[in-house]
Structures are given as C-alpha cells and as structure tokens.
C-alpha cells in the first residue's frame, strides 16, 4: 500500500486527521529496515508501526507477509483492530491468542491471511501443529518485546524467530527506556526512534491522604468528587480488586472489574462496558496498565502504591493520552511506605460523602447473540435498532461486533423498551436474542 492511501484510510476509518510527529516519521521509514521504536504508552505507537507494516505488504494472496507478535491478548486485539480496519478489503488480517477458539483460528489461517497478529505461545502452537507456514513472512514486528520476555516468553520467541528465514524488515517496540535486545534477534544494528519523554501530555498528579490503612471511604469520597469522569482504580492483587469492586457495586457505582484471574471473555466484556459508558469506574490490577488502548480515561487512581517505577509509569499512561489532559490520584495512608518514583504536585481533599451523590451511568449495553461469523455488521445492528427498536441515530452508542456476538450501548432509560420492541423481529432474516448486560 502507498502512504497516500494509508493516510486517507487513517483519516476516514480511524478519524485521525493528522499524524503526530512519531507516526509521520515512521511513515517515512525506508524499507526494508531494522528499527527500534521507543515510545510511551498513549503516544500512538500502534498506528506508528502499523504504517510501515501496511507499506510493506506485497501482492494479495501470496501467503503471510507480515507477522506481529505482542505479549498479551488485549494488546493483540488492539493491534489487530487497527491493522484489519486499515488493510481491508484488499488484505486480510487474523488474530491468534490464548483463550480464543483454536478451531476458529485454524479456519482463519487456512483462508491465507496477509497479516497475523499473535501472542507468542499461541503462535508457536499453530506453527508446531503445521497450521501455517512462515516462509513468506518478510516483515516482523515484536511489539512490547521486553514485556514478552518479562512474562517468560523468551524460548517461544526464540523458536519463532529462528523459523523466520526471509524477514527483510524487523521492527521492535518498547515503552521502556534503553531495553536490552535479546541475542536471538541478531547482532545487526537497529535504527533507533526514541520518543520516550517527548511530547508529554498534561498529567496532573495529586496525593489523597487517607486517615486509615483501609482506604475504601477515601476512595468513595474521591470517586464522588470526580463526578461522571471515567476512572481506572489500580490495585496490586486480584482479591483486593474483587473486594473493592464488590464494595463499590453495592454502593451503587457503575463499576467493572479487570484482572488476570477472570476468563478472557469476561475481561473483554468488562472493557467493552467501560469504553461504551455503561460503567465509568474500572477496578483493575496492573494487567490493565500496559498495552490496552482505552479511549477517554480521565483519571487514574492508585489505591495501592505501584510496586515498581515501571508500573507507576504505565498506570499513569492510561490517561493523558495523545496530547489530552488527565489526572492521577495517589491514595496514601500513614502505613504506606512511599517509594522514590512516586511523586505528586499537590494534595487533594475529597468531598464528603454527604455533599455529593454517585453519578449514574447514562448507557446500558445490549448483547446480540450473533456476530461476524453470522454476517452481522455494525451497520446492520444500527439500522435494526433505529428501524425496529425506535431509537434515534444519536441514541445508538458504541457497537462492538465479535465473532459470534455483538455489544451495543443504548440509553439506560430505553434499554428495556428496546429489547421488547426488537423481540418479534429478525435481523437479516436471522432470529437474534437480545439481552441486557449487567
């Protein structure tokens, strides 16, 4: 693909009218290349490396041209959505990751995709089972490669890279300053694009004193003061996430939860509800601090102090993204030992719980039990809701279509009536069950 066509699609399909400095620089990279891109979370790194990947694509149907390896399922899905959106319809992309149907992935691989985005473990499993050939791969991206190594994927990555005999362009990315490059990558030098510490967004960091080691009351008052702003509350352990989530839910907050002990589909659902406005508070472990691209997070709350400087950086990177402003709040009690890497500009005194109510969510998510594999698109769902559900165009919120299901946000006050109105009707001659996600 040529750069003019890519930029046109970025504008039309991603609604990004102007590339930032890093993305523009990556669009001008001479291919083939060996490139190391260092960029903070929230800087637009995914689009930045997607541009040379798209530029590198050759003739359609010639086998897998580009391979992108990322450490987590969430990051794989984020990258896949960007590449799929920009590459279609000429080129096919597919995603392979743990927790996804192996059968569905095999079917996608048999359809000869041009781009594969995958986690190391699942990709190596497919390779060893003979589900794909890497002979035609000429562009390799190792996104957040140091995170993959940190998570214990070194042997899987070594095995995959060792099977790639025809790679001409190799792109490594990291959100960490001066990451070590593993020996299996090779000794040839890389051209370094370093955007760590540049283009910093306006992030205000506040200390929130807690009179007790149990910070639930302080958290409640802080969230009330934030009103309807979208916030992620970071904790250090799964059991703490469950406890705090249950407490906030019982109080009436529109809250979700996200941690590594949850099933993959429940994690994906939690993110969908948070992004579409059905929840506005997400209680999460550090699994959510790196790789996720969640739009419009206005505040980060450190309920527990981050265990490392890297966690501190990546948590705060969930807000103030792409030049937008944001706020981070660090709840600290006398029992906390504050590490050197945690700092703030001023203290913040939360409102009293009596002076401010809990802001409800304005949206409710409906689930359709049919998706891409049933040939249901976003346009089909939007039209169905307006024609049969009685909704105006501005009452149809974010729509997320998965393989065998779809989620759509509708006004909370109309959710029940919409389900009742849709019940007698078919969508594209298919009987679909529509339910509320609570």
CB atoms within 10 A of CB 306: 21
Q: How much is the pLDDT for 207?
A: 94
Crossing angle (nearest 10°) for helices 120-128 and 154-163: 50
Q: 34 and 189 in contact (C-beta within 8 Å)?
A: yes
- The bridge status of strand 406-411 relative to strand 363-368 is antiparallel
**pLDDT, averaged in runs of 10, over the chain (438 residues):** 93 87 92 91 88 90 91 90 94 93 94 95 96 94 92 94 95 86 86 76 85 94 90 97 97 96 92 95 89 79 93 84 77 94 88 75 96 93 96 95 95 96 94 94
Look up tokens 């990558």; give the residue. 185
Q: 361 and 279 in contact (C-beta within 8 Å)?
A: yes
Rounded to the nearest 5°, which phi and psi values hold at 210? -115, 130
CB atoms within 10 A of CB 344: 17
Architecture of domain 203-347: 3-Layer(aba) Sandwich (3.40)
Q: How much is the pLDDT for 355?
A: 61
Look up tokens 């706020």; give the residue. 327
> In 111-263, which residue ranges form alpha helices assigned H by DSSP?
120-128, 145-150, 154-163, 216-226, 238-251
Q: How much is the pLDDT for 378?
A: 93
If you ran DSSP here, which 8-state letter would residue 427 be given? B
Can you say whether the dihedral through the CA atoms of 211, 216, 220, 223 is positive or negative?
positive
Q: How much is the pLDDT for 354?
A: 64
Torsion angle (degrees, nearest 10) of CA 59, 64, 66, 68: 160
Q: Where would I find the beta strands (DSSP E) of 70-156?
A: 93-96, 115-118, 139-142
Can you say whether the dihedral through the CA atoms of 213, 219, 40, 196 is positive or negative?
negative
What would you measure as the largest C-alpha separation in the chain, in angstroms?
A: 66
Query: Which of 160-184 are b and which e, b meaning 16 or more Cβ less than 10 Å from the residue's Cβ?
Result: bbeeeeebebbbbbbbbeebeebee
Q: Report residue 284 as tokens.
A: 């999460």
Q: Report residue 6 as tokens.
A: 């890519």
In angstroms, rounded to a whole number, what is the distance separating the alpha carbons of residues 176 and 168? 25
Domain ranges of the chain: 3-194, 203-347, 363-437
Architecture of domain 363-437: 2-Layer Sandwich (3.30)
Q: How much is the pLDDT for 379?
A: 94
Contacts with 165 (C-beta within 8 Å, 6 or more apart), sequence order: 134, 135
Do the domains 3-194 and 203-347 sit in the same CATH topology, yes or no?
yes
In angstroms, rounded to a whole number, what is the distance separating the alpha carbons of residues 207 and 210? 9
The separation between CA 43 and the C-alpha centre of its own chain, rounded to angstroms, equals 13
Which H/E stretch holds residue 38?
Answer: strand 34-38
In angstroms, rounded to a whole number, what is the distance separating the alpha carbons of residues 322 and 407? 26
If you ran DSSP here, which 8-state letter would residue 101 be given? -
Find residue 172's DSSP bridge partners. 36, 142
Of 314, 306, 317, 302, nearest to 341 (Cα)?
A: 306
Q: How much is the pLDDT for 351?
A: 75
Strand, coil or helix: what is 228?
coil
Q: How much is the pLDDT for 211?
A: 93
Q: Report residue 279 as tokens.
A: 């929840």
Architecture of domain 3-194: 3-Layer(aba) Sandwich (3.40)
- The bridge status of strand 299-302 relative to strand 326-332 is parallel
């Amino acid at each position: 693909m040529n750069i003019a066509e890519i930029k046109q699609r970025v504008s039309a399909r991603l609604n990004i009218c102007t590339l930032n400095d890093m993305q523009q620089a990556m669009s001008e990279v001479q291919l083939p290349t060996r490139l190391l891109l260092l960029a903070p979370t929230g800087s637009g790194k995914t689009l930045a490396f997607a541009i040379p990947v798209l530029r590198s694509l050759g003739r359609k149907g010639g086998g897998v041209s580009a391979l992108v390896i990322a450490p987590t399922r969430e990051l794989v899905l984020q990258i896949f959505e960007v590449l799929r959106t920009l590459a279609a319809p000429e080129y096919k992309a597919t995603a392979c990751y743990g927790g996804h149907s192996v059968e569905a992935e095999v079917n996608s691989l048999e359809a000869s995709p041009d781009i594969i985005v995958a986690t190391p473990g699942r990709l190596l499993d497919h390779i060893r089972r003979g589900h794909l050939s890497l002979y035609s791969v000429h562009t390799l991206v190792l996104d957040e490669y140091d995170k993959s190594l940190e998570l214990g994927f070194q042997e899987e990555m070594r095995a995959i890279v060792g099977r790639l005999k025809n790679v001409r362009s190799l792109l490594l990315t990291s959100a960490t300053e001066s990451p070590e490059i593993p020996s299996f990558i090779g000794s040839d030098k890389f051209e370094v694009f370093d955007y760590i510490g540049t283009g910093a967004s306006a992030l205000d960091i506040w200390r929130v004193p807690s009179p007790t080691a149990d910070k639930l009351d302080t958290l409640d008052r802080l969230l009330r003061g934030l009103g309807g702003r979208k916030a992620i509350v970071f904790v250090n352990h799964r059991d703490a996430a469950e406890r705090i989530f249950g407490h906030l839910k019982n109080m009436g907050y529109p809250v979700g939860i996200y941690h590594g002990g949850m099933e993959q589909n429940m994690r994906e659902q939690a993110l969908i509800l948070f992004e579409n406005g059905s929840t506005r508070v997400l209680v999460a472990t550090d699994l959510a601090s790196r790789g996720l691209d969640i739009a419009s997070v206005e505040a980060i709350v450190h309920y527990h102090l981050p265990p490392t400087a890297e966690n501190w950086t990546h948590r705060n990177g969930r807000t103030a993204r792409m030049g937008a402003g944001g706020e981070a709040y660090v709840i600290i009690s006398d029992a906390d030992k504050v590490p050197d890497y945690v700092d703030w500009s001023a203290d913040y005194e939360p409102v009293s719980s009596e002076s401010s109510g809990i802001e409800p969510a304005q949206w409710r998510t409906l689930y359709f039990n049919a998706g891409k594999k049933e040939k249901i698109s976003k346009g089909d769902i939007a039209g169905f809701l307006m024609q049969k559900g009685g909704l105006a165009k501005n009452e149809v919120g974010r729509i997320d279509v998965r393989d065998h299901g779809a989620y759509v946000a509708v006004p909370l006050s109309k959710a029940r009536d919409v389900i009742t109105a849709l019940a007698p009707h078919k969508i594209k001659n298919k009987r679909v069950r529509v339910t509320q996600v609570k």
